[in-house]
Structure 1
């Protein structure tokens, strides 16, 4: 609701302080449905597509981990479009890609797969869908840099971390083979038992403030390496 209020005011929420339109959220009686989220994100994409800006556009594409990425941890010199939806799967993200067709991003950060695993999807299905996401984004935005981020470890007994590690190895290979980049977050978040470090999570899957701070650090280190190599 905060984001919708910002959009109606002609603003993008990623360019506003985190407490903007807080009274709208406080007065909300129910949480938006998935379809309402998708509609809102499509509206934000359309708004960005129709806006002239001298800032490079970066897109976060994924599930709740991307959705709740703190605005104040996004690089301020860039324009950010957050396209994360809670509970989203690789299948749903594929269905949403046309909503990004008219945007002109310089970078697209993709993170998905943990919800697929919760629903019992196979490794092959997840990797194949990520490959399709990369291929479609490259066709849609040939000048954009596609960054595939690893699936994070969890503390959920329903999601084997050994399986996540195996999928990540495959994601790294398909990213390299496709001309995309791969960002290894798993190694920064995993403990000696193969689970996500407890300080980085609120419930075994979702991230704490410290978790997002570490994600930001990995972002910045990766961008610094790219800048140095150029």
Structure 2
């Protein structure tokens, strides 16, 4: 689309230059004088109405500004933010040609209620993961490691709220897509009840902050509420088939 706009602006600019030259050189007046000097010549054609240079330049200006806005959008990134489940999302494979940044880190957590010597936490790395990335959209999936570490949904909700508050305050134009924590299976299935509890809280938080809520959990759960066997090899992390399904959800939201 941008290339097409560039072509249109070049054509329009050429028309403007030619029109300006004709308007300032007196070409039409010279032709009229020559016609008078030749009595056998046919009468001069009726002069065309003057070209509205102001309107043409206005059109050129608005076309250029529109192109600038489109280019600015292309300079922004979609950020995938989370833990090892996000880190395993192969961006070149699933989002070829798209400006997508993977900001997942294995074993990461929400980031509140941590000892000072623990460097982890999405809450602690929002500068590097969101604010410094020229992000237009953030797909956030975090929380399963908090549950695995024994944190309660109450504590997790407090930390998640802090994440959303910071983004809303420091980057109000960023569109956050709050993603449900995924189901688990096998030895990790003990967390599924708390996963459902926390996801209900996430849905309310998303509504409160006027962000999207993406129920990826529903896409990957079986009839028992566990992660489908075909979507995992260890009961927690995802297979290529699961990532393909997830990629489709991101693409749907982004209208790719």
User: So what's the TM-score if we normalise by structure 2?
Assistant: 0.63
Distance in 2 separating the partners of 1:77 and 1:176: 32
Partner of 1:10: none
Post-superposition shift, 1:223?
3.1
Flag the 1:201–1:101 CA change in 2: closer, same or farther, 3 A: same
Distance in 2 separating the partners of 1:223 and 1:54: 13
1:79 equivalent in alignment to 2:109: no
Deviations 1:150-186 (A, max 9, x none): 0000015454212211210110111111111111100
Q: 1:200 aligns with which of 211, 231, 256?
A: 231
Equivalence map 1:134-153=2 (5 Å): 134-153=164-183
Partner of 1:124: 154
Q: Which has the larger radius of gyration?
A: 2
Distance in 1 separating the partners of 2:203 and 2:234: 27
SS in 1 for 2:226: coil
User: How many residue pairs end up in the alignment?
Assistant: 174
Is contact 1:73–1:216 with CA below 8 Å preserved after alignment? no
Partner of 2:76: 56
Post-superposition shift, 1:205?
0.2
Structure 1 stretches of 5 or more lacking a match? 1-51
Q: 1:167 aligns with which of 168, 181, 198?
A: 198
Q: Which structure has more helix as a fraction of its residues?
A: 2
Structure 2 stretches of 5 or more lacking a match? 1-71, 112-120
Runs of 4+ in 1 over 3 A off after TM superposition: 52-55, 72-78, 156-159
Flag the 1:122–1:178 CA change in 2: closer, same or farther, 3 A: same
Distance in 2 separating the partners of 1:115 and 1:190: 18
